[in-house]
Chains A and B, each alone.
Chain A
Amino acid sequence: MKPAPFDYVRCANVPEAIAALSGDEGAKVIAGGQSLVPLMAMRLARPTLLVDVNDVGLDGITVERDVIRIGACTRHRRLERDPVIARVAPLLQEAAGLIGYPAIRTRGTIGGSLVHADPVAELPTVLVAAGGFVVVRSGAGTRVIAAVDLFTGFLDTTLEHDEIVEDVLLPVAGTRHGSSFCEWSPREGDFATAGVALAIERDDDGRCVALGAAACGLASVPLDCSTLLAAVLGETSASGALLRQIARVMRADLAGDPDRADLVGLLAARAVHRAFARSDERSAAAA
């Protein structure tokens, strides 16, 4: 038994959880506990009250026209296996399967991963690449926060103490969508050294007409790399020349550790290659 003492409340709905949080400055939400409990074991976190949100009903997955809404307490394991996620958010599906090990994914949640905001975590990187949003609620009502406005630094977000993430919103993949999450880690299941998330949309002629990309492992937050990869727009295939250009541009423009920049350049080129291949498969399946 390593954590410092705390009180515990299991909440039945979101308002109850918000009330519990508002009533205690030292209170903390617990979802899967896969990031919070290790911090508590090391006593880097010493919450006075744990507010358990596992039973508040935040585990729905619904598709609303061009947006998919995912409850904050949806577990990584479900993201990895749910056929709706596979169809409308394949980048999220792939990324979820790269998180830790099976016994971590059975408990860890999407909301917990986003709020924990580890700089090399997969799901924050996906949120930035896909241009997603989180819907958060407090006593004052709800607000919607865009991915780029959520992450502020190492394990830090713009969430207020009494705010709870209810839902995560991501765009629905088009019929010619292609995506890829490419990462490198020294051992399978370990946190990645760096990773690149990429999603593309193509028109009926196969031209890339939209692109979203982000990289983790370079800074204290996932970096939006969409502009750096602009060369992909208008292209109909992942030619060798295009891939070489991408690796070169990423390397030249990313400051900091040159080995990291090299690695991210290669991962970006690989991600572009896979995204086109998957888009080809998806288009063929739809035809």
Chain B
Amino acid sequence: MSQTVNVKLNVNGAAAEIELEPRETLLDVVRERLGLTGAHAGCEQGSCGACTVLVDGELTRSCLIFAVQCEDKAITTIEHFGSPGALHPMMEAFRRHHGLQCGFCTPAMVLTAIAFLEESPHPTESEVRSALAGNLCRCTGYAGIVDAVLDVAGVAE
């Protein structure tokens, strides 16, 4: 085992100090140390997108960054955006358009869509598809997801 280190993290606006091994990824830490299980562990090698969070406002694969690298950075996970009973409009739209089935890809899909619309408020359908190309969904066939994002953007389908 390598040395452990103390790392100060800022997750969804709350400070946390955690003793951890450098090899613990940000994904490991938000899920297993902080109990924020919205970021999902799929491939853990960058391919599926299920672990996507925001680091200093930028879409980031939490499986490809170590928690020790995140000191002094603002981490935002899907839990920041809504909760049962207080859904974010994007979450509502996913529900309305059947943008999810098993839900494994959903938190990262919703978070990626929210971040995307902040940068591109009036996207075309093909821009929506590009923005979500790095998030794999094995259930929906994507049509409902794309409809949900276009709906929130106020773009006619």
Question: Interface of A with B (CB < 8 Å)?
Answer: 1-8, 10, 30, 33-34, 37-38, 40-42, 50, 52, 54, 77, 100-104, 106-107, 187-189
> Would A34 and B133 count as touching, CB distance under 8 A?
no
Question: Interface of B with A (CB < 8 Å)?
Answer: 1-3, 5, 21-25, 28, 44-46, 49, 52, 58-61, 63-66, 68-69, 71, 112, 116, 129-131, 133-135
Shortest 5 CB-CB distances between A and B: which pairs?
A101-B134, A8-B22, A5-B2, A103-B59, A38-B45
Q: How far is B21's CA from A4's CA once the two chains are assembled, in angstroms?
A: 11
Closest residue of chain B to A5 (Cβ to Cβ) is B2
Q: How far is B44's CA from A30's CA once the two chains are assembled, in angstroms?
A: 17
Q: Among the listed B2, B25, B64, B116, which residue makes an inter-chain contact with A7, where contact means beta carbons less than 8 Å apart?
A: B2
Chain B proximity of A7: nearest CB distance (Å): 5
> Would A6 and B64 count as touching, CB distance under 8 A?
no
> Would A10 and B61 count as touching, CB distance under 8 A?
no
> Would B21 and A104 count as touching, CB distance under 8 A?
no
User: A102-B131, A104-B134, A106-B58 are known contacts. Are A37 and B65 too (CB-CB below 8 A)?
Assistant: yes
User: A6-B23, A106-B60 are known contacts. Are A41 and B45 too (CB-CB below 8 A)?
Assistant: yes
> Would A6 and B22 count as touching, CB distance under 8 A?
yes
Chain B proximity of A279: nearest CB distance (Å): 27
> Would A34 and B22 count as touching, CB distance under 8 A?
no
List 19 extra interface pairs beyond A5-B2, A34-B64, A54-B69, CB under 8 A.
Answer: A1-B25, A2-B44, A5-B1, A7-B22, A8-B69, A30-B69, A33-B69, A34-B61, A37-B46, A37-B66, A38-B64, A50-B22, A100-B134, A101-B133, A102-B134, A103-B60, A106-B60, A107-B65, A189-B133
Q: How far is B24's CA from A50's CA once the two chains are assembled, in angstroms?
A: 13
Question: Which of A34, A42, A103 has the most chain B CB atoms closer than 10 A to its own CB?
Answer: A103
> Would A37 and B60 count as touching, CB distance under 8 A?
no
Closest residue of chain B to A3 (Cβ to Cβ) is B23
> Would A1 and B23 count as touching, CB distance under 8 A?
yes
Closest residue of chain A to B25 (Cβ to Cβ) is A1
Give me 28 A-to-B residue pairs in the complex whose CB atoms sit less than 8 angstroms apart, sorted by A's number.
Answer: A1-B24, A1-B25, A5-B21, A5-B23, A10-B69, A30-B69, A33-B64, A33-B65, A33-B69, A34-B46, A34-B64, A37-B25, A37-B46, A37-B65, A38-B46, A41-B45, A42-B45, A52-B69, A101-B49, A101-B133, A102-B59, A102-B131, A102-B134, A103-B52, A103-B59, A103-B61, A107-B58, A187-B133
Q: Among the listed A4, A33, A54, A104, which residue makes an inter-chain contact with B23, where contact means beta carbons less than 8 Å apart?
A: A4
Closest residue of chain B to A54 (Cβ to Cβ) is B69
